[in-house]
Chains A and B, each alone.
Chain A
Amino acid sequence: MENLPAQVADRLRALTFADRAVAYLYVDDALALIGAGGRLEAYGLGALRLGAPAVEQAAFLEGLLPLVETPYLVPSIELAKGCVADLHFWRDEGGVWALLLEVTSERDATRRLQQKAYDMTLMQEREAALNRRLEAAHAELRAQSAELARWNKTLEERVAAQVGELERMSRLKRFLAPALAELIVSSGDESILESHRRDIAALFCDLRGFTTFAESAEPEEVLELLRGYHATLVPLIQSFEGTLDRFAGDGLMVFFNDPLPCPNPAERAVRLAVAMREAVAALAAGWRRRGHQIGFGVGIAQGFATLGQIGFEDRFDYSAIGTVVNTAARLSDAAADGQILVTSRVASAVGDFAVLGDIGALAIKGLSRSLVVSNVVALKSGQHQQAI
């Protein structure tokens, strides 16, 4: 200031302190307040007592005295009345001076800038947190979607497996009793259907006079008769657990003891044949009323045959091949209306419960020697039964 004229120095002082509250404290080495001045009331320091402990009267001095560093600045302190000051300390030989130089305007300007920066930062932090939650939600959604896809795949596989089972069941039901078909499907073991040899009882049956009827009747009438005939016989075959080999017009072939074994194949075949004969006799009465003379004959033989699936993709049948099959077919051909012709082996197996009539030796086409054949006249009293 010493190079400035008094007028300039005074003006400068006025400009500097016009809008700023300036105050000071002077504290001795015993920490007693020994001097104070300026606009003390702006900082809530209007009631100071000289000679009393400084720190008790000006709480912001707590911990700062005695001064360990000089000069020392504590910037931008907001005191009780909202007035903000830079607090300048220095010491001289008499004690420590504390000068409060107001910086409220500067603090407010800084705060406005800082507030904007912080608001921006907080907004970015919230946005980042929101993005993280969104990403987490997306990840969860993706995981759920993948889980759903896995469930769908599993469901498709299950449906495919069940469709496969239904197809197998449908295929097996064509020649097996439904209960047996379900047994094979549920066990999952179809090796039983592979080619093998087994002792079976084969039953052939067809209608007598059917060819003549078919030649003279309308096709619709023929089909209606066959539908009734099949609808009557097939449930019987299933109830006796016979394996239905094939339909060929009025001819049917059934065998027993394969693919699932049974202890008495000849007996079952004969009991089925008797039940068939009774059922067809009831049908034939109706046919006769319409002027059709149609009868029914059966042939049964027992012996080893080769069995298994034959055919090609999408058209498999389960069938038996062998002399026993041919023999049963020839016996069926040879049977008159109402006859159930059986070989001597079958006859001996059913002699206990069936009334047999001796037919004698028959020459069978395809066999080098004739066969002794019997006719099953009826089941003995008390032996009649519809199904096993």
Chain B
Amino acid sequence: MTVAIQKKICMLGGFSVGKTSLVKRYVASIFSESYLTTVGVKIDKKTVTLGERVVHLILWDLAGEDDMSSLRMSYLRGSAGYVLVADGTRPATLETALSLRRRVEADCGPLPFALLLNKNDLREQWAIPDGELEELRRSGCWVRSSSARTGEGVEDAFTDLAARVAP
């Protein structure tokens, strides 16, 4: 018998790292070159089938973190897990992502998460050494490089996270 459950997942990261593009790629399989910043939160839904289970992921695509608007923790209430996104061509955004993780853990406890180093199609501008990825993996992070443009790593990240939030 098929069991359907619903889980809230938040997308977190600095501005212009590709959170909205990743959700669009995952939910609608589309990618747009134009950048439109997110204000507040945009909600989408994606259904994943994991064996006998159907998991409805309610994706909260939160506004990017910057110096002016810090994360509103009210958005995270009731979240089952989250996706941290950094831009592999901008090393500072990885720091932002790791800082967000610390704040989420301080407020909500240790939730399942996936860290995506996005824009891996821009290899010539890539600025995060492979060694740093390895170090994050060794520290227990689920971390992958991804591309919302090509779709690389996107499906895997959400499916894996879905399996962990709805075991």
Contact = CB atoms under 8 A, between A and B. Distances in A.
B16 A107 contact: no
A127 to B, nearest CB: 13
A73 B42 CA distance: 15
A125 B90 contact: yes
A129 B126 CA distance: 11
A60 B58 contact: yes
B71 to A, nearest CB: 13
Interface string B48-72: 0000000010100000101011001
Contact of A78 (B40, B56, B92): B40
Given A77-B41, A80-B43, A59 B6 contact: yes
Contacts of B144: none
A122 B93 CA distance: 12
Interface of A: 55-56, 59-60, 62-64, 68, 72-80, 84, 107, 110-111, 114-115, 117-119, 121-122, 125, 129
A65 B40 CA distance: 20
B36 interface: yes
Interface of B: 6-8, 15-16, 35-37, 39-45, 56, 58, 64, 66, 68-69, 72, 74-75, 77-80, 90, 92, 125, 127
Given A59-B56, A62-B6, A78 B42 contact: yes
B7 A111 contact: no
A64 B41 contact: no
Interface of B (DSSP majority class): loop
Contact of B8 (A62, A72, A114, A119): A62
Nearest to B69: A114
B40 A107 contact: yes
Contacts of A78: 40-43
A122 B16 contact: yes
Contacts of A72: 74
26 contacts: A56-B6, A59-B43, A59-B45, A62-B8, A62-B78, A63-B79, A64-B78, A74-B74, A74-B75, A76-B39, A78-B40, A78-B42, A78-B43, A80-B43, A107-B40, A110-B39, A114-B37, A115-B36, A115-B37, A117-B68, A118-B35, A118-B37, A118-B64, A121-B15, A129-B125, A129-B127
B43 A79 contact: yes
A363 to B, nearest CB: 98
Nearest to B89: A129
A122 B90 CA distance: 10
Contact of A63 (B41, B69, B78, B90): B78
Contacts of B41: 74, 76-78
Contacts of A68: 77
Nearest to B40: A76
B56 A77 contact: no
A107 B7 CA distance: 26
Contacts of B7: 62
